[in-house]
Structure 1
Amino acid sequence: MTVTSADVPSERPTVLIADDEAALTDSMAVWLSDDYRVRTAYTGHEALSEFDPSVDVVLLDRHMPGLSGERVMKRLNESDASPKVALLTATSTDDFGPEVEDLGFDTHLTKPISRDELLDAVSALSSQSEPAQR
């Protein structure tokens, strides 16, 4: 599902939110929709379907059924695109092993996340990314 506001110009960065907690995903989409083009996915497989080179920032839940955020990140690493990716997690980063650290996430966000934390993180990530193909 794509939650793109017609009022958001196409030159705005595109953010893909992938999290199996639908209420959280939808809330984050609303928070971001004034400043970004937003796509949502509720599974890892949907995240891969919604992803294309126009995506600038990906917010990726670590634990999703079927295809975890870590496995999605491996697939993103194999693509020609280079979005900035934040790992969404409800656990401490102390629980991350080298297999997670080595995947190349640009940052991590610990849930629950506030609107201001989300906006700050996405702003920082989108300013670091090269403009995606539109």
Structure 2
Amino acid sequence: MSNELLPMVYVVDDDSSVRSGLGMLLMACGYRVLTFESGTHFFQAEFKDEPSCILLDVNMPGLSGLEVQEHLNKRHCPIPVIFLTAYGDISMSVRAMKAGADDFLTKPVQKEDLLRAVNNAHQRDLEARKSRTLIDELRYRYATLSERELEVFHLVVRGKLNKQIAYELGNSERTIKAQRSSVMEKMQVSTLAELVLRATQLGVFDLDTPGD
């Protein structure tokens, strides 16, 4: 595996010995590592859009770890965050987890716990990336539908029959059948169930909302 394909871990901690120790451990276990002495230095860096996670100290001069997390959330940055702290308490961990942290570990952290947390964070990041890629592709397909095809799409996923759609839109059933076929082709699905799933994934149809 080339070095660029190895998972990335960003270590943000004001303690140089912690940065060094975590960096050596993670690199020895097959990760790429970049270290930062503060949240400010972390935000000054430029990053590739790649599978990664952050090991983030809670108590740091300047921006605290929780403030770094807050800034990431405001920027809609989906990178998984694992907190590390020697002075954590329940309220702090609850706040971090509610804000979307993947894990909250106490220093000194055991190697097995650290690697498990990092691996879980990377797996979640990979799955989230796949999901975002799928949604982007679905949005592209959805955007190719004509205005009339969009009307047919929304009526079909709500369980309307071709003859019902034809009556509602003032077209012949034959025309609706052709438009429905075009919708299925453009959305790259072969069944109504698949089309409903795509509509749900796009957020244009709620399975919990009853049809007309």
TM-score normalised by the chain length of structure 2: 0.53
Partner of 2:14: 20
Correspondences of 1:25-104 after superposition (within 5 Å)? 25-34=19-28, 35-50=30-45, 52=47, 53-54=49-50, 56-96=52-92, 99-104=95-100
Q: How many residues align?
A: 126
Asked if 2 retains the 8 angstrom alpha-carbon contact of 1:41 and 1:50, the reply is: no
- Which one has the bigger strand percentage? 1
SS of the counterpart of 1:83?
Answer: coil
Structure 2, unaligned runs of 5 or more? 131-212
Question: Where in structure 1 do 4 or more consecutive aligned residues deviate above 4 Å?
Answer: none
Percent identity between the two aligned chains: 29
Larger radius of gyration: 2
Partner of 2:117: 121
- Highest relative contact order (Cα 8 Å, sep 6+), 1 or 2? 1
- Deviation by residue 1:17-69 (Cα, 9 ceiling, x = unmatched): 00111101110001111311110011111122236333610011110001111
Q: Quick one: distance in 1 between partners of 2:51 and 2:35?
A: 11
Question: Which is further off, 114-123 or 27-36?
Answer: 114-123
Query: Could you say what the CA RMSD is over the residues aligned between the two structures, in angstroms?
Result: 2.3
Change (3 A) 1:108 1:125: same
TM-score normalised by the chain length of structure 1: 0.80
Supply the AA of the counterpart residue of 1:64.
M
Structure 1, unaligned runs of 5 or more? 1-6
